[in-house]
Amino acid sequence: MASRTKKIDDLIAVLEKTGADPLRLDVLRRTRQFKRSWVDLAEALVEVRRNRAYEAWGYDDIYAYCRDELSLRKATVDKLTASYHAIRTHAPAVLERDGIAKVIPSYEAVGYFERAARAANDTANSKEEGRAKSKALDELRRAVFDEGRPVSELRRRFDPVLHPKTTEEQQLAAVTTALRLSAKLAEVLPDIDGLDEARIEEMEVALGTLRRDLEALAEPLREAIRARRAEATGARDGAGRTSKPARKPAAERPASKRPPPKKSRSKRAPARALRARGGARRRKP
């Protein structure tokens, strides 16, 4: 970050001497203060984008300008501007804060709220779930804009209600935890003094069998989760099309255009995992 700051400081000095556009200088100065006041920078970026000011500075688009002159990635630019718009929409009073007397929420936290607010427009599975999500969204609004909670805390607190896991995701999480713990147990057993070697070997064989069984359970869960996400993505994309309905699943597309790759992938991956574990299990001291 120090090298980026020096680069920006040097550029400011050059542009000040050459009488550059005041807006261009202002954006650079706000970038230098990004850690303290992301709202100021986001506001300036919104103005640059709205006025297409970057064109007069020799850039084709705002992302090229932000990358080359401000050392900001495209993803960061999008997060900053989206979070700024979210504040203007949901908590405009935040824009009046100085960041000292009253906290300014991080752009990551505001982005988390913005995504949750958009998702709240989706139809809930039940009235009870809808009421729970509405209550959680109100609490999230306070946690973000009034309390300035970090996004890591927001995820731990609100994900279970606002982004509940499906049955497959819950099962896969349990299987993944069991795989990790069984591998850790097999790793530490030989380091325990007093355990009989035969007993350790017996446990290693049993744990190897357990991991094979867990992997066999995990693969169809992964496939189900991938299929569900692909279906959800297709539904969202289809909702934006007005020319024709988007209900046609991928399986109905002509095979000559897109051969289905899932079968070969689902067979190879478990086979490699079983061979790797099988080799480790047959190893003798």
Domain coverage including residue 36: 1-85
Instruction: Kindly report the pTM of this predicted structure.
Output: 0.55
Do the domain assignments include residue 285?
A: no
Q: Is the same domain home to 67 and 131?
A: no
Reported as a pLDDT band with limits 50, 70 and 90, residue 37 is confident
pLDDT over threshold 60, residue 244? no
Per-residue pLDDT tens digits for 161-179:
887 788 888 899 999 999 9
Of 111, 113, 112, 130, which Cα lies nearest the Cα of 121?
130
Per-residue pLDDT tens digits for 53-77:
999 999 999 999 999 999 999 999 9
Mean pLDDT score, 90-103: 82
| 253/27: higher pLDDT | 27
State the pLDDT at residue 126. 64
Do the domain assignments include residue 96?
A: no
Q: Is the same domain home to 81 and 12?
A: yes
Q: How far is CA 157 from CA 18, 107, 146, 190, in A?
A: 51, 18, 16, 39
Do the domain assignments include residue 248?
A: no
State the pLDDT at residue 5. 62
Mean pLDDT score, 130-149: 89
Q: Is the same domain home to 155 and 185?
A: no
**Computed from CA positions of residues 40, 107, 100, 13, in that sequence, does the dihedral angle turn out positive or negative?**
negative
Do the domain assignments include residue 251?
A: no
